[in-house]
Each structure stands twice: as C-alpha cells, then as structure tokens.
Amino acid sequence: MSDFKELKETAYRSNMRLPELGLVLFTFGNASAADRDREVFAIKPSGVPYEELRVEDIVIVDFDGNVVEGDMRPSSDTETHAVLYKHWEHVGGIVHTHSTYGTAWAQTQKDIPIMGTTHADHLTQDIPCAPPMSDERIQGDYEEQTGYQIMDVFEDRGLSYEEVEMVLVGNHAPFTWGKTAKKAVYNSAVLEEVAKMAYLTLQINPEAPRLKETLIKKHWERKHGDDAYYGQEN
C-alpha cells in the first residue's frame, strides 16, 4: 500500500471538484496537495480525462519536481507547482485551470479590478496579472519559469502570497493556492466568479468605478478582521 494514500485521496478529491464546479473542460487543469513535512505533493497525471481519473493514478512528486511514486507522467504543469511549493512555505494546495472568464482576463493581460463587495469579501487587491514571460524564459524550462513569473509579479508589486491567493498569468490562465488543497479549489471558483462579474459590469458600464476603499475595508474586516462577525462562532 502506498505511504501517500491520504495525500493522493486529497489530491484526487480536489481535482474532481474542478469539473463539478465548471472550472475545467476535458483535461484543461490540475490540482495538487502538499505534505510539507515530507516535502512532496500529489498531482494529477498528465492528459488523463477526469471521468477516467482514479486515486491510484495520482502521482507523488518532490519539491524539485522529481517523481517519488507513481507509474504515470505527472501534469505538464508540475514544475510550476514545485517552484511555488519550494519557495512559498505556507502553501498547501495549488490549482491551475483554464476557466473561461479567468482565462479571458489573462488573455487581455489585465488585472481583474476590485469592483464590488464579492471581490472585497475575499481580498483587498485587484487580482494581479503577471506579464507574458520573455522569449528567453519561454525557450528555457517553460513550466518552471512560469512559477518564477508568478513569484516575480508578487515581489515587483509588494504583494503577499498569503493575502492574495490567486494570479493570472498573461496570455495563459489562472493559478490559485491556499493553506490547503480545499482552499485552493475554493479560491479558483472565487476567481472565476469575480472575473465573470467584473466582465459583465464593464459590459454594462465601461466607466464603472473601482470599489471605494471604505467598502473594501468593511467587507474584508467583517469576514477576516480581528472583530469579524461573518458566519458562526466556533
């Protein structure tokens, strides 16, 4: 029996949530779950349709991108996941999709602006769009460089990956993460919904204003602040 049975099951459940939530079509995406104590993560095998995916197909990879366990080739995006896990120590799960609205925004090379309180319930910043990578990076280890491209935009803008758990990669698609794989999947669904809302808002009114700071602060703090009152007490 695999030493990574529970981790594989977590990754499997996370991957299967993506088509359930309408975030992937065919094989357009992947999710991974990390075991930080053992410095490994479980990820979907490359090119396997979701309806055919089994727990035992999930591949275990270390933070350098080396396969530790599994008979199948891991996702083509494995190196991107590995870079983020290796450098961002509080990430426990990562999701990559080509969801329609998130990907459309990525293809415009524009951030998703914070225009409403739904967005502010989850983060206080625009969702950043990393610029398309240089030709030199593209011609190198493309998937590994995608990880560094994500990290670079956070460093350049002074953003915290623990506060902003999502990004667009220019001309590519969204990536999200969280302390757990379940949270990464949740963030992926949030990104897609916020992307859709922002698109529709600007279709209705191309001059629609950005959400004002007092509302951003209020909606963030009522859910995440020291005196948060959203939801039920534990």
Strands 29-35 and 40-43: antiparallel
Number of CB atoms found within 10 A of residue 51's CB: 8
pLDDT at 227: 84
Q: To 10 degrees, the CA torsion angle through 202, 213, 122, 30? A: 50
Q: Comparing 48-62, 81-95, 216-230, which segment has the lowest mean pLDDT?
A: 216-230
pLDDT at 223: 83
pLDDT at 1: 60
Give this prediction's pTM: 0.96
Q: In angstroms, rounded to a whole number, what is the distance separating the alpha carbons of residues 7 and 32?
A: 9
pLDDT at 33: 98
pLDDT at 43: 98
Q: Which of 233, 81, 89 is nearest to 146 (CA)?
A: 81
* pLDDT > 70 fraction of the chain, expressed in percent and rounded: 99
> At 56, is the pLDDT very low, low, confident or very high (cuts 50, 70, 90)?
very high
For the segment 60-75, the average pLDDT, to the nearest whole number, is 97
Q: Does residue 225 have a pLDDT over 90?
A: no
Q: In angstroms, rounded to a whole number, what is the distance separating the alpha carbons of residues 51 and 144?
A: 28
For the segment 199-210, the average pLDDT, to the nearest whole number, is 98
> At 234, is the pLDDT very low, low, confident or very high (cuts 50, 70, 90)?
low
For the segment 117-129, the average pLDDT, to the nearest whole number, is 97
Which bin fits 128, alpha (ψ -120 to 50), beta or left (φ > 0)? Answer: beta
Tokens of 215: 């509302």
Q: Calculate the average pLDDT of the chain.
A: 96
- 12/229: higher pLDDT: 12
For the segment 217-223, the average pLDDT, to the nearest whole number, is 90
Q: In angstroms, rounded to a whole number, what is the distance separating the alpha carbons of residues 183 and 206?
A: 32
For the segment 216-234, the average pLDDT, to the nearest whole number, is 85
For the segment 104-117, the average pLDDT, to the nearest whole number, is 98
For the segment 172-194, the average pLDDT, to the nearest whole number, is 98
Strands 166-169 and 129-130: parallel
Give me the active site residues, please.
Answer: 121, 230
Q: Does residue 231 have a pLDDT over 80?
A: yes
For the segment 134-146, the average pLDDT, to the nearest whole number, is 95
